[in-house]
Amino acid sequence: MGKFGKILAIDDNEDILFSLKLLLKNHVETIHTEINPDRIPGLMEQENFDVILLDMNFTRDMIGGQEGFYWLEKILELDPSAVVIFITAYGDVERAVKAIKAGAVDFVLKPWQNAKLLATISSALKLRGSLIEANKLRLTRNELCKKLDQPFHDFIGDSAEMYKVYNIIQKVAATDASVLILGENGTGKELVARALHRNSARRNDVFLSVDLGAISETLFESELFGHTKGSFTDAKRDKPGRLEVASGGTLFLDEIGNLSLPLQSKLLTALEKREVIRVGSNKPIPIDVRLICATNMPIYQMAKEGNFRQDLLYRINTVEITLPLLSDRDDDIPLLVEHFLQQFAHKYKKNIKGVSSTAIKKLRQYNWPGNVRELQHAVERAVILSESKILQPSDFMLKTQQGNGDEGTLNTYNIEDMERDVIQRAIQKSNGNISQAAKELGLTRASLYRRLEKYGL
Per-residue pLDDT of the chain (457 residues), as tens digits, is 456 689 999 988 888 899 999 988 888 888 999 999 999 999 988 888 999 999 887 764 455 567 888 888 888 888 888 899 988 776 556 776 777 777 888 888 888 888 888 888 888 888 888 887 777 776 665 555 555 554 445 578 888 888 899 999 999 999 999 999 999 988 989 999 999 999 999 998 999 999 988 888 888 888 899 888 887 777 788 888 899 999 999 999 999 998 999 999 999 999 999 999 998 888 899 999 999 999 999 999 999 999 999 999 999 999 999 999 999 999 999 999 999 999 999 999 998 989 998 899 999 989 998 899 999 999 999 999 988 889 998 899 887 543 344 444 455 556 776 777 788 788 877 777 787 888 878 777 777 877 777 766 6
- Cβ atoms of 30 and 147 within 8 Å: the answer is no
For residue 268, which phi and psi values (nearest 5 degrees)?
-60, -40
> Do 332 and 391 share a structural domain?
yes
- pLDDT at 387 (0 to 100): 85
The predicted structure's pLDDT at residue 156: 81
Decide if 161 is inside a domain.
no
Q: What is the pLDDT of residue 272?
A: 93
> What pLDDT is stored for residue 61 in this prediction?
45
The pLDDT of residue 414: 65
**Which of 386, 391, 393, 394 shows the shortest CA–CA distance to 354?**
391
Per-residue model confidence (pLDDT) at position 428: 75
For residues 56 and 121, state if they share a domain. Answer: yes
Q: Looking at residue 107, which CATH number applies to its domain?
A: 3.40.50.2300
For residues 305 and 186, state if they share a domain: yes
Judge whether 159 lies within some domain. no
Residues 115 and 11 in one domain: yes
Q: What is the pLDDT of residue 12?
A: 86
CATH number, domain with residue 352:
1.10.8.60
Q: Are residues 187 and 224 in the same domain?
A: yes
Regarding whether 426 and 374 lie in a shared domain, the answer is no
Taking residue 26's Cβ as centre, other Cβ atoms within 10 Å add up to 9
The domain total for the chain is 4
Which pLDDT value is given to residue 221? 86
Q: Is the same domain home to 174 and 316?
A: yes
In the listed set 324, 351, 373, which residue is the last one of a domain according to the structure?
324
**Together in a domain, 54 and 121:** yes
Please report, for the domain that includes residue 313, its CATH number: 3.40.50.300
Asked if 415 and 397 sit in the same domain, the reply is no
Q: Please indicate, yes or no, whether residues 304 and 318 belong to a single structural domain of this protein.
A: yes
**Do 235 and 299 sit in the same domain of this protein?**
yes
Is 214 within a domain?
A: yes
Asked, for residue 41, whether it belongs to a domain, the answer is yes
State which of 300, 324, 348 marks the end of a domain: 324
Is residue 150 assigned to a domain?
no
Are 330 and 346 members of one domain? yes
> Is 29 within a domain?
yes
For the chain, the distance separating the N- and C-terminal CA atoms, rounded to the nearest angstrom, is 75
Domain termination site, one of 296, 324, 352: 324
Report the C-alpha gap between 51 and 32 in whole angstroms.
11
Write out the residue range of the structural domain in which residue 417 sits.
411-457
Q: Is residue 154 part of a domain?
A: no
Q: Can you give the pLDDT at residue 108?
A: 84
Cβ 323 vs Cβ 295: under 8 Å:
no
Residue 194 maps to a domain? yes
